[in-house]
Amino acid sequence: MADLSRYIRHPASTVTGDTAWFDDQRPLGAGRHQVILANNALHLTRENSLRTLAHHPGTTTLWRTYVTGTTGAPTPAQIDWMRLPGNGVLAIDLGVHHVVAYGTGRRWPRLRCAFRWAPEDAGDTLGAVLVVIPAPTRPEPSAVGLRGMGAAYYSSDSYTGSTSFANGTLSLELTDAHLADLSTAPTAGYPPAAPPTLESGTRFAFRAFLGAYNSSNQDAPGRRGALVGVSLYLLEPL
């Protein structure tokens, strides 16, 4: 199948005359018309599965560390998921999202979380972790991470040595293990009328969380940190 990695403009189906592709008695050949149409169909199928999922402003008052002495890229268990936002922590529920396989093959898109971050003291370390669970329901945060969520998958990183804002990115290659199978069927509004038969299908979903810490653990001017401009989105798989 043609794969030119971009959409190719072509005459509209209503065009008539010598430049028309779809006039009566003008069947398509096996040449460039079919190549372009096949390419466009494949390209649009792929692009349909890639989109922005969530935005969050983040925080400019990040100062808490959950596990004393934590430095470097954290695990989910090293984030204080229990504490409310605005209390020196960053623990964001980025929501439940449905995923569509990329293109004509059963390859899932790549998940990426991007943000900007900086400590106020170059000697402090900021750490962030993107957590994905294959479930649509909200897990219960606890002192050992995210309790009751079953399998968890994560990507993490840390930043230290400078007070300048830097780009942060956390990525996960989604697989079947990251996703929950959700059986769905349409209804005829509310109250639901039960037709004799219902079409049904399966949707695939995950829930994402972003957590962060600051090794400072001091709520004082010059010892806080910022992690702002959070975006969660899907990319072409590797």
User: Tens digit of pLDDT for each residue in 135-182?
Assistant: 765 444 443 345 444 567 899 999 999 999 999 999 999 999 889 887
Among 28, 48, 68, give the residue marking a domain's end.
48
pLDDT band at 215 (very low <50, low <70, confident <90, very high): very high
Mean pLDDT, rounded, for 38-49: 61
Instruction: Name, of 24-28, 42-46, 66-70, 113-117, the range with top average pLDDT.
Output: 113-117
Count the Cβ atoms, other than its own, within 10 Å of residue 160. Answer: 15
- Same domain for 139 and 211, yes or no, is yes
Residue 121 and residue 217 in one domain:
yes
Q: Are residues 100 and 168 in the same domain?
A: yes
* 95 shares its domain with 35: no
Q: Are residues 17 and 117 in the same domain?
A: no
The three-class DSSP label of residue 225 is strand
Is 37 found in the same domain as 63? no
The whole domain housing 43 covers 1-48
Q: Is 98 found in the same domain as 36? A: no
Query: Do residue 37 and residue 85 come from a single domain?
Result: no
Sign of the alpha-carbon torsion through 175, 176, 180, 185: positive
Contacts of 70 (CB under 8 A, 6+ apart): 78, 125, 127, 213, 215
